[in-house]
Homo-oligomer: A and B are copies of this chain.
Amino acid sequence: MLPSSLPWALPLDPASATPVYVQVAQGLTQRIESGHLRAGSALPAERELAAGLGVSRVTVRQALALLSQQGLLTRRHGSGTFVTPPPRPGELPSRSLGLLSSFSEDVRARGQIPGARVLSFERVRPSPQEAMSLALSPGERVYRLRRVRTADGEPLAVEDSALPAALVGELRPADVQDASLYALLWARALSPARAIRHLRAVNADLTLAPLLGVPVGAALLTTDRVSWLADGRPIEYARAHYRGDRSDFVMELQGGA
């Protein structure tokens, strides 16, 4: 309970056009990037920072929220705020240089153990999106599967898959507990021969964030994939949301311009 002035100060100008919390965030960013605050080390407590900088705790929290959202800081309830360790190198599913591979294969290729936790499994009418992507006839049903995909037990993605019920035949819950859906398809001679994948970036919403263990708003890499059999029939439509901080998709480009 000392005067608790910080070992360092940040130059804050309340009159400036840039908000104080942005100034605090910038100051902290600089101290992190310059190495004055080392990776993994704890920041002063919020109340301490506020007192030391002469601003309210709310303002400090606004700054910390900004940096936490950018992945620069990690906040742990009851424990403290820490400088996020630098990203581990190349960490993602999809070694895919144009090669069709399953999530399980991709994770294994990185030397990690793939896993899956089934959130739901049902046989339902397709959504319009599913019906279109899978070119379903009216009345056809799909198996819809939502899983959290893990690497070494850590959540890496949430994946929603839809398969035409008429094409894949009877599927029971026990069939999809297995980590690899592709292995099951292979066993039924339904291996996809071709796929098209769309990639986008979105912010984690209230549903996905807890499933992936990231804060709401964290950047996610979202993919939509349609897979076809060799004869051209669609066999799977899947939408997956990957943790942005643990994913890195690779594509190889040839010729052209």
Contact = CB atoms under 8 A, between A and B. Distances in A.
Copies in the complex: 2
A254 interface: yes
A84 interface: no
A100 interface: yes
Given A66-B206, A217-B70, A244-B219, A257 B199 contact: no
Contact of A25 (B29, B182, B206, B248): B206
Interface string A124-141: 000000000000000000
Would you list the 7 A-B pairs with minimal beta carbon distance, nearest first?
Answer: A201-B244, A100-B256, A201-B221, A201-B219, A100-B253, A201-B201, A219-B219
A185 B96 CA distance: 28
A22 interface: yes
A218 B29 CA distance: 18
Given A66-B216, A70-B217, A217-B70, A202 B244 contact: yes
Nearest to A250: B198
Nearest to A96: B253
